[in-house]
Structure 1
Amino acid sequence: MKQQGWQIRVRGQVQGVGFRPFVWQLAQAQGLRGTVSNDAEGVLIRVLGAPDDLVAALKAEAPPLARVDAVEVTVAVFEAPPKGFEIIASGGPGAETRVTPDAATCPECLAEIRGEGRRRGYAFTNCTHCGPRFTILQSLPYDRARTTMAPFEMCPDCRAEYENPGDRRFHAQPIACPICGPRLWLEVGGAEVPGDAIALAVARLQAGEVLAIKGLGGFHLACDAANPRAVAELRARKRRPAKPFALMCREADLDRIVTVSPAALAALKEPAAPIVLMPARDALPASVAPGMAELGVMLPYTPLHHLLLDAFQGVLVMTSGNLSGEPQVVGNDEAREKLAPFADAFVMHDRTIARRLDDSVLRVDPPMVLRRARGQVPGTLPLPPGFEDAPQVVAYGGQMKAALCLIKNGQALLGHHLGALDEALTWEAFVQADADYAALFDHAPQAVAVDLHPDFRASRHGAERAAREGLRLIEVQHHHAHLAAVMGENQWPREGGKVVGIILDGLGLGPDGTVWGGELLLGDYAGFARCAWLKPAPLIGGDRAQMEPWRNALVRLDAAGLSGWADALFPNAPREIARAMVAKGLNAPPSSSAGRLFDAVAACLGLCPDRQSYEGEAAMRLEALAGRAEAGQAPRLRLSGAGEEIDPAPLFQALAQGGDPAGLAFAVHDALAEAFAARARTLIAQGTAQAVALSGGVFQNALMLQLMVEKLAGCAILKHQPLPANDGALALGQALVAVAKLEE
């Protein structure tokens, strides 16, 4: 006998988070009959009985890792009335739902590995509230058979937990125990060393050795952070002389090594368990983060890490396991081949990593994401008002800090951080991610968006795909994409009016064929106008100018009438050859780059003038130096004029006069912020722009962001927070611009 009931569709991050047992428990408590299942669109509930209380609870009481985007209720007809409430098998494959990011070990599982039960000391303990998700997922819907846990057949005890709706491991797809799950071992020279892997690893770390440790999204290289010889050895082996190392420690050790604010502690303890930048104390060797005022620290986020830190009782360097410039190593054989020159021993396990994910990095004061990866992806963002019916679009981002973006069903899925695409293996990872996301989310784009620069590998890839599949190709200017990205992240409506964008970064090709990077733009999603910019200076040697700060200093000093000082500062540099290149216009394209301007200032103050050992080193050291300025003691510098070109010559004339380096570094930041903010305030006051948007990699500089916000007081400000200001969010902006242009 047919009977009318209700169908409830729950959309969002609702698979792999214990949502179905949560619904089952609610139904039992409310006396409802029906079913709940996963399918391609999320969670589907069919019930007899009044659904109001159930719907309210779905929104208000969802499990900790769940994110409910929508609950839709429609009438349903039952051919035969159900006798109770059941959790039934998932529907067919497909991808309209959100995939859950990997989550740090929950308190209940942590208590188990430290307790006396059958999972004591087990490095792969997890439940529906924690554990691997995206790093083991191979296809949707999220079921064990579609993860890299499929080869591990559950033992009777795990099966009983898995099938018990009242257990927190009900349908926990990575469920495991020492009897049936992945195993951990330590090996040296390709041979397993008998004994407890954790105890063996700790003994080697305490002896000053470097270990390669397989984690969630790849391998780390680890050593004792308090042992300067071990840190120096790791730097020598990895040929990484100065780039700051990430650290991992127990919560109890935090206060000893960094100044921890409540906001920073809360961020550390989030399920994403990111690296958080915090002010350093003097407890560790300076070689951990040379020249930096902050340390990047994360808490243990897997049972393996907790067991290791519990036994080690100290602070570990925990840096990505990779060759310089290459993506993080994920496979056991790959690790043996590539990390053998770095590591004295390997901590291995036999659970396959489906996709590599670096650790996410953020700062809480001011709040910003620097690298969006493990624990933060593949979450989706709602599109701004006016984009609800946007067609499917794929955007491929830029050349550096690559990440791609898919638009579908009113949502934007911004992919994880991949790195610089000029490295062959990073490029392979990019191509794999493109196919991976397309398959995982069943994506069929109508258009492809790329950067305007035709030589970016992502741009060529997008153009080839568009030609191959007959899709429309839309080229988006780099800084317009930055502007659109920060607008979209802040839900700026499509018809919300024009915004003035202060876009400061390293480089991006302008429509005029020159290299941009210090820009004031007025625009919206559909278009923009360039209102002001840093006075261009030649990039001597093209790309070499990005790594050798003296080149940028030389041209800025020459332009400011300070050639003699340049000769004194850089006596061993090939200055005359460089000047001849400028005079002849030979491999010296003009650029308004704010990033290269900061490099020039850093070189004048003696900060790695000859060569940077990693991207952004000079600017990061300059920011750290400026942070040491005495309050109110820095000189006040101002750039004259209110025209289109912002000439930084007065800054270099002030540097030449000498003074406290920290005060001068601060004054340069302050003067540049005022020069751009003043012009933006004028456009706001005139009613030409409705808000100010801040984007580009320079706004990862906390001091620059803070000064700019202060100088824009009273203006509506759009800035990045859940997404990075650097090129990691570029693809989102490209995708939104593409939609706007498609629908013009």
Structure 2
Amino acid sequence: MERQGRIIIRGIVQGVGFRPFVYAKAHELGIVGTVQNAGSEVRINAYGDKFEKFRDLVADGTPLSVIDSVETLPIQGPWPDSFSIIPSAEGSLTGLIPPDVATCDDCIEDIFRISGRYEGYFATSCVNCGPRYSIIRTLPYDRERTAMDEFPPCNECTTEYVDPLCRRHHAQTIACNSCGPQLTLLTSTGEILQIQDPIKETSKLLDQGEILAIRGIGGFHIACIGDVAEELKKRLGRPEQPLAIMAHLDVIRKLTDISNEEEITLRSPAAPIMVLDKKDPTAISHVSNLHTVGCMLPYTGLHHLIFAALKSPFLIMTSANVPGYPMITDQEQIVSRLSKTVGYILTHNRDIVNRCDDSVIRKNLIIRLSRGLAPRRVAHDLGNEAILGVGPELNANVTIYRDGFTITSPHIGNVRNPATFAYLTETIERLSSLLKPNIKVIAHDLHPQFLSTRFAKEMAEDIGATIIPVQHHMAHIAAACQDPCVGIAIDGVGYGTDGTVWGGEIFTGEVPHLSRVAHLQPVLMPGGDLATKFPERMLYGILPDEQTEQILTSRGWSEPDLKILSQQVSKRFNTVQTTSTGRILDAAAALLGICRQKTYDGEPAMKLESAAWGVKPELWPLSFGKDQDSRILDTSSLLMITRDKYARSESDASAIQTIASSFQFNLARGIAKLAIDAAEEEGYTNIALSGGVSYNEAIRRTIAEEVKTQGMKLVINREYPLGDGCISYGQCVWAGMSRQ
């Protein structure tokens, strides 16, 4: 029987209360020795008759920890008299600090305990909850290396910090109203309001219909009550974009058909925004005119305190930034950029070191990987070289591979924007400072004009790294499945190996050897990006005939505009060819009059899905062709059927819903058939699915049912977004496997 030894536990063991957990177990079992943080390790020297039981218990870890390995080494020397936590040291960096998590129930109880030490204090937390990634500057995770170093703990907090029987034992974020961060309520121009209780005043202002900016864990939100939603959209210049709400669970249950599984995710420590089906698809249309609405629970002490004084049933909560730009984190930016949007600003004086937007999940599929879920750390053997994946251009994030693990950053945004591109480089620098990788390979998108591509090439030249371009949709499949498979990549756009715009692709093979064997019909985008903003252009690019011209004329298109459009298509001037699934859905939405102008990302396809929601589709004939070595689904024939049916039912709303449902259903059937036929030819049983169009429940469900009917398996990576938030991870996978 072993009675002593050095236990080395590796994984996510920083910022998860691991040392106090070990201390408590040692105290419980009569173990003497030491515990120490060392990078991504916890090193324990333990002595005692119950050593083996102690080792088994600490190997289970804490609720927020992730254990990769437990190693026991022999140790010599005399036994110490007690067990102690000793100062941190340098060590391996294969783990990382965990994501920010919601305030735990115990701390919420403390906040509302009358005459308790934490009564009414917004930044109450313990070893099991609160900010982590957003406050960390460097590892190991100690208070002096976080944004909390500016708030020396008072005597009472210090007493709890050193008490092994307290859940705030060695909690680096411990603070109270006497020593911790403080709240201030400002006017929109930054003038401080001299009031006794900023939280109660905030709730009062919200109930009165004011719009406020509220500083949270990872950045600012803009908040208002539901009655003010339309005014907020007007001020933001987003009249059609759905907004998310924050509410208690009973309100969310009344509004939505939330499932047990969705409720578990909603109430998890990650506390994401959940995109849920409404009970009544037409309800709260001023908040969301789709059949879904984004919902989140109060997840910080500040939120709970605001709701305790609020009369309204829910709040609108939206990120305080222009779509595609980084979340605003500091007070000066809010005043300079949003003084005409918000009336007041509720802020605190704790630095946000690493900004972090809210995560978004639908049907337990990740849409946006961020607070609570990122940094995302996944075990994956990609070789001995450290790899950086710089991601795509839209909905970007970055991934670093080192020593058997990929680490993916929170959501960054649209790196076309200079501010977001700066955030991309800032995030790479931040992760690199935490992980200290010796980057040898940099993977980037195939598109030569992306800023991220240029950055990858410049960085590679500076540090002497190898660059590996990865085609956008192949990165999607690499993120979804590394086994031999057929891959379905359906999204908006991506630069193809032939220089055209792809977006409806079928691949066969095994990463990094994928072959494009089928795709959607190549169609024209008159005006290039202009066709994504005005999807009626897309409609004409696919069906450039007199019947389409008549539809456009009836909707107010002038003769000169139609002539220019016709010439663009006939002469192929400023006209891009694409196989994009998203653009086909845009064209259908435009044809049916569901969405004629895109005002936010994915709007036409999302409105098409909502129009079709719950309506039984019709079975339409499918047409296929062939181009060189690829099979092709004829999408123009589907659109012609749609147009013919629309012409007979133009004023019949229910008929249009049926047409919308049928178009989606038959498009999905066609995509599934391309994949199934390829799988049968190659002898594969796995069919991987990725791409932003996969969030469309009707399309995804149809593909899944068709695949299952043929005895095959649909593979989806639920650890990463189906959209472009998986690309940087897929780039790392591709690059690593191509180097082996």
TM range (shorter): over 0.9
Which of these residues, 251, 254, 258, is aligned with residue 252 of structure 2?
A: 254
Give the AA of the match of 2:250: A
Would you say the 8 A contact 2:382–2:733 is kept in 1? no
SS at match of 1:362: strand
- Is contact 1:4-1:77 (8 Å) kept? no
Q: What's the counterpart of residue 58 of structure 1?
A: 58
Q: CA deviation at 1:402?
A: 0.6
Q: Does 1:278 align with 2:276?
A: yes
Q: CA deviation at 1:75?
A: 2.1
Whole-angstrom CA distance in 2 between matches of 1:196 and 1:98: 37
Instruction: Quote the residue 1:72 is aligned against.
Output: 71
Equivalent in the alignment of 1:719: 716
2:469 corresponds in structure 1 to 475
The offset of 1:234, in angstroms, is: 0.9
Query: What is the match of residue 215 of structure 2?
Result: 214
The offset of 1:354, in angstroms, is 0.6
Give the SS at the match of 2:37.
strand
Aligned to 1:223: 224
> Structure 1 residues 189-198 or 128-137, which shifts more?
189-198
Q: Is the partner of 2:406 in helix, strand or coil? A: strand
Counterpart of 1:360 in structure 2: which amino acid? S
8 Å Cα contact 2:382/2:737 also seen in 1: no
**Structure 1 segment 169-184 matched on structure 2, within 5 A:** 169-184=168-183
C-alpha displacement at 1:584, in angstroms?
Answer: 2.2
State the AA in 1 paired with 2:447. Answer: H
Q: How does 1:76-225 map to 2 (within 5 A)?
A: 76-78=75-77, 80-92=78-90, 95-116=93-114, 117-188=116-187, 189-193=189-193, 194-225=195-226
SS in 2 for 1:56: helix
- Say which SS state the counterpart of residue 200 (structure 1) adopts: helix
The match for 2:6 is: 7
Deviation per CA, 1:351-388, whole angstroms, max 9, x where unpaired? Answer: 11111111000012xx30000100111130111xxx35
TM-score, L = length of structure 2:
0.94
Aligned residue for 2:601, secondary structure, equals coil
For 1:88 and 1:297, locate their aligned partners in 2 and report how far apart those are by CA, in whole Å: 43
Deviation at 1:638? 2.9
Residue 670 of structure 1 corresponds to which residue in structure 2?
A: 665
CA distance in 1, matches of 2:199, 2:82: 47
Question: Partner residue of 2:598?
Answer: 612
From 501, 514, 519, give the equivalent of 2:487: 501
Deviation at 1:562, TM superposition (A): 4.4
Contact 1:502 1:521 in 2 (8 A): yes
Q: 1:505-541: CA deviations, max 9, x gaps?
A: 1111111111111111112212211111111111111
Distance in 1 between residues matched to 2:260 and 2:600, nearest whole Å = 31
Structure 1 unmatched runs, 5+: none
Which segments of structure 1 move beyond 6 Å, counting only runs of 4 or more? Answer: none
Rounded Cα–Cα distance in structure 2 between residues aligned with 1:689 and 1:396: 31
- For 1:271 and 1:48, the matched residues in 2 are separated by 35
Q: Is 1:584–2:571 an aligned residue pair?
A: yes
Q: Once the two structures are aligned, what percentage of the paired residues are identical?
A: 34
Contact 1:4/1:75 (CA < 8 Å) preserved in 2?
A: no
Show the counterpart of 2:691: 696
The answer to whether structure 1 residue 484 and structure 2 residue 475 are counterparts is no
Q: Compute the displacement of 1:569 (Å).
A: 5.5
CA distance in 2, matches of 1:281, 1:671: 27
Distance 1:647 1:16 in 2: 54
Distance change >3 Å, CA 207–CA 281, structure 1 → 2:
farther
Deviation at 1:260, TM superposition (A): 2.2
Q: Which amino acid is the alignment partner of residue 572 of structure 1?
A: W
CA 1:52 to 1:570, structure 2 compared with 1: closer, same or farther past 3 Å? farther
Q: Which residue of 1 aligns with 2:423?
A: 429
For the residues of structure 2 that align with 1:64 and 1:357, how far apart are their CA atoms?
A: 22
Answer whether contact 2:3 2:52 (CA < 8 A) is retained: no
Alpha-carbon offset, residue 96 of structure 1: 2.9
- 2:544 pairs with 1:558: yes
| Paired residues of 1:673 and 1:711 also in contact (CA < 8 A) | no
Distance 1:298 1:563 in 2: 43
Give 3-state SS (helix, strand or coil) of 1:446's partner: strand
Cα pair 2:134 2:218 within 8 Å, conserved: yes
Residue 58 and residue 553 in structure 1: after superposition, are their counterparts in 2 closer, same or farther (change >3 A)?
A: same
Which amino acid in the other structure matches residue 190 of structure 2? G
Instruction: For residues 647-684 of structure 1, give each alpha carbon's deviation from its aligned partner in whole angstroms, at most 9, with x where no partner exists.
Output: 11221222122241111111112112211212322233
Match of 2:652 in 1: none
Give the match's secondary structure for 1:705: helix
- CA distance 1:92–1:600, change in 2 (3 Å): same
Q: After superposition, where does 1:306-325 map in structure 2 within 5 Å?
A: 306-313=304-311, 314-325=313-324
**In structure 1, C-alpha distance between the alignment counterparts of 2:454 and 2:524, rounded to whole Å:** 26
The two structures have a TM-score, normalised by structure 1, of 0.93
Secondary structure in 2 matching 1:187: strand
Residue 707 of structure 1: aligned partner: 702
Question: Equivalent residue for 1:418?
Answer: 412
CA contact (8 A) 2:387 2:442 kept: yes
The answer on 1:532 being equivalent to 2:518 is yes
The code of the aligned residue for 1:612 comes to K
Q: Secondary structure at the match of 1:650?
A: helix
Partner of 1:192, secondary structure, is coil
> Can you give the 5+ residue segments of structure 2 that lack an aligned partner in the other structure?
650-654
| Structure 2 counterpart of 1:287, one-letter code | H
Conserved in 1, the CA contact under 8 Å of 2:3 and 2:51?
no
Does 140-149 or 682-691 show the bigger shift?
A: 682-691
Q: Deviations over 1:290-316 (max 9, x none)?
A: 2x0011010011100000011114200
CA distance, structure 2, for counterparts of residue 647 and residue 120 of structure 1: 65
Question: Given residue 159 of structure 1, which amino acid in structure 2 is its aligned partner?
Answer: T
Within 1, Cα distance between the matches of 2:213 and 2:369? 23
Q: Note the aligned Cα RMSD (angstroms).
A: 1.8
